[in-house]
Amino acid sequence: MSTASVPLPHWINYGLIPLLNLVVAFLISGFVVWLIGESPLDALSLLLEGALGSGEGIGLTLFYATSFIFTGLSVAVAIHAGLFNIGSEGQAYVGGLGCALVALSLDNYVPWYVTMPIAVVGAALFGAIAAFIPAWLQAKRGSHIVITTIMFNYIIASLMNYLLVHVLIVPGKMAPETRTFLEGGQLPKLTWLMEIFGAKLGAAPLNVSFIIALVMCYIVWLLIWRTKLGFEMRTLGVSPTAASYAGVPYVRIVMIAMMLSGALAGMMALNPVMGASARLQVGFVSGAGFVGIAVSLMGRNHPLGIIFAAILFGVLYQGGDWISFEMPNITREMILVIQGLVILFAGALEYMFRPAIVRLYQQFKRG
């Protein structure tokens, strides 16, 4: 029997193997730190101290995690339907436009809790529209979704660049960004949540969108594992031919899955745009869409796993900032190195250790 098909208990499949992949990624990152001439152990302790050592650190970690939960869910929903959405980055960028337009037009008149639901819809709608064309091209014209979503990341970046430089910019200002939203267009911070645990949030921009992200995790779980639509999506993801024989409408499911994915990516914009900076800025997504790929892979495309993986990446981002502050030799881009390694080992080389683990497991069971 080939080692690839030996069933392993859940704790190995969903616990040990991802952990092992993560450890290898960290060991190599540690080697890079050592190469630069710094101590990997010092860097690790700085990382943890910066991310989890203070209320503000935790707040920032969770702030980053919020964005990654949204983009992670976005990637995961598409993957369940067998679609690899590399376009979360662009969809999130356009989502920013959606929620900024809502905030800009309402912030003067209504309080934030009226603006918020409309902004959620706006962001999701714009994100879904951005995913619509690649989805249509995939479903109807057979163009590969990976290629088209990459193309759309760039098309959207150019479009948003144009809008921010020429249309949405505040007249007389140099920076390509919209005006600052008034209080009615800002999401309040979660100071009270941190105070329950006796920690001070400080200047960290952790805000209500964190709760929206958790709610979306639950909704996505319901959708994927508890609805007919979710079942159809998963069937399509496992085998498009089997799905079509079973009467799953290919075009419709592809369109719906991609637009849901785009909507989730779009909602990510709530966090930085309405939660942190209270304005729409050029390039505010800054790679969170791509982090979503790593988060989804680490979290095995399950909402619960995605929450843990998003927090892990939140720790990396916040801790990485802290390291670059304390050890000027190690720049912030060290995060990209770790991220690349995590994607490589947890995603592409997912099964590298599996044969060895299977052998160990079988020996262990026998002996």
Closer CB to another protein, residue 36 or residue 222?
A: 36
How far apart CA 145 and CA 99 sit, in angstroms, is 26
Q: What are phi and psi for residue 274, nearest 5 degrees?
A: -95, -20
CB 75 within 8 Å of CB 249: no
How far apart CA 264 and CA 262 sit, in angstroms, is 5
Q: Which of residues 73-92 bind another protein (CB under 8 A)?
A: 84, 86
Task: Note the maximum CA span of the chain.
Answer: 77
Tell me how far, at minimum, the Cβ of 8 lies from another protein, in Å.
17
Q: Considering the rule CB under 8 A, would residue 125 count as an interface residue with another protein? A: no
Q: Considering the rule CB under 8 A, would residue 351 count as an interface residue with another protein? A: yes
Binding mask 283-302 for another protein (x = CB under 8 A): -------x--x---x-----
Q: Considering the rule CB under 8 A, would residue 31 count as an interface residue with another protein? A: no
Residue count, binding to another protein (CB under 8 A): 50
CB 293 within 8 Å of CB 73: no
Residues 6+ apart with CB under 8 A from 103: 115, 119, 181, 184, 185, 186, 273, 274
Closer CB to another protein, residue 46 or residue 116?
A: 46
Q: Considering the rule CB under 8 A, would residue 5 count as an interface residue with another protein? A: no
Q: Considering the rule CB under 8 A, would residue 282 count as an interface residue with another protein? A: no
Q: Considering the rule CB under 8 A, would residue 339 count as an interface residue with another protein? A: yes
User: Among residues 6, 52, 193, 337, which is the contact residue for another protein, using CB under 8 A?
Assistant: 337
Which of 241, 349, 332, 284 has its CA nearest to residue 93? 284
Compute the CA torsion angle 133, 136, 137, 142 (nearest 10 deg). Answer: 160
Tell me how far, at minimum, the Cβ of 347 lies from another protein, in Å.
4
User: Among residues 24, 295, 338, 357, which is the contact residue for another protein, using CB under 8 A?
Assistant: 338
3-state secondary structure of 141: helix
User: Among residues 8, 16, 101, 151, which is the contact residue for another protein, using CB under 8 A?
Assistant: 151
End-to-end alpha carbon distance in the chain: 19
For residue 55, give both structure tokens: 């209320």
By CB under 8 A, name the binding residues for another protein.
2, 32, 35-37, 84, 86, 133, 137, 141-144, 146-148, 150-152, 154-155, 158-159, 161-162, 165-166, 290, 293, 297, 329-331, 333-341, 343-344, 347-352
